[in-house]
A and B are shown apart, each in its own frame.
Chain A
Amino acid sequence: MKKKINELKLTLPALSANEGAARAIVGAFCAQLDPTVEELADLKCAVSEAVTNAIVHAYDTPGGPIYISVALFDDRSITVVIRDRGCGIADVAQARQPLFTTGADGERSGMGFSVMETFTDRLLVRSRIGVGTRVTMKKCLS
């Protein structure tokens, strides 16, 4: 049975200026498990994607809360949960399809969930309309 050895909880307003801070803080916290440069870069990228999704899509007006929690385990696995209380995703399976985006300006690649999936070992997305979205990512370090 794996044991939790450390935990970080962080709340940030959904402002695009916080994307860099979110991935930097999570990266710095996870560094204590001594990940490889590649593993850390993968994790920071996946966090950036999930936080960006919440910032871009969750709230009608900027600044709603984004809750980030990170748990480190003694088997060298990391669980990151990124949650919002925003509008929710109507069809999660569709949203997870590569190239799917609701961004009308053509500047969103629609690859956010694909990047999260590629760069972590497990991705779970739960969402309810009007309640919010919870993205759970698990990364197992070597």
Chain B
Amino acid sequence: MEKETLTVALLSEGDTLTATLSGEIDHHSAATARETLDRALFKHRPRVLCLDLGGVSFMDSSGLGLVLGRAALCEELGAAVRLLRPSLRVRKIFAVAGLDRIENITLQV
């Protein structure tokens, strides 16, 4: 069994779904995380999706794809996205893409 380099823990409280991501986000690990998050979004239909990134030790542009893809889905579902506790490294990647300018995404350091 291959070791998971990225884990996703889910907590649904009221109209908020919080996903705590821990580990390394790359193209390989993002695929499983995407499935987990999308399944949870359709199941819980939250008003707010919080992605807690405090435990993310590495992220490349695949992480951007993961966040942007979820933001697009959330927009369809009428939900807002909050990115919690992004590290300086993670914020550096977000800055390359100008993620702070996307309407339904809020960054909470």
Do A49 and B65 touch (CB < 8 A)? no
* Residues in A whose Cβ lies below 8 Å from that of B58: 23, 41, 44-45, 48
Q: Is B30 an interface residue (CB 8 A)?
A: yes
Task: Give the segment of B7-15, B20-28, B46-54, B77-85 that binds chain A.
Answer: B20-28
Do B27 and A19 touch (CB < 8 A)? yes
Interface centre among A41, A52, A111, A112 (most CB of B within 10 A): A111
Q: What 3 pairs across the A-B complex have the smallest Cβ distances? A: A16-B28, A109-B64, A109-B65
Residue of B nearest to A46 (CB): B60
A→B interface (CB under 8 Å):
16-17, 19-20, 23, 41, 44-45, 48-49, 52, 55-56, 98, 106-109, 111-112, 114-115, 118
Do B30 and A107 touch (CB < 8 A)? yes
Residue of A nearest to B23 (CB): A20
Distance, CA A111 to CA B93, complexed state (A): 9
Residue of A nearest to B67 (CB): A109
* Overall SS of chain A's interface: helix
Do A56 and B27 touch (CB < 8 A)? yes
* Residues in B whose Cβ lies below 8 Å from that of A114: 61, 96-97
Do A48 and B2 touch (CB < 8 A)? no
Q: Is B40 an interface residue (CB 8 A)?
A: no
Q: Is B68 an interface residue (CB 8 A)?
A: yes
Interface centre among B27, B31, B68 (most CB of A within 10 A): B27
Distance, CA A20 to CA B30, complexed state (A): 12
A–B complex contacts, Cβ < 8 Å, 18 sampled: A16-B31, A17-B28, A19-B27, A20-B28, A23-B58, A45-B89, A49-B60, A56-B27, A98-B97, A107-B65, A108-B65, A109-B68, A111-B64, A111-B97, A112-B60, A112-B61, A115-B60, A118-B96
Identify 8 new A-B residue pairs, CB closer than 8 A, beyond the known A17-B28, A19-B26: A20-B5, A23-B58, A41-B89, A49-B60, A49-B61, A52-B62, A56-B27, A106-B69
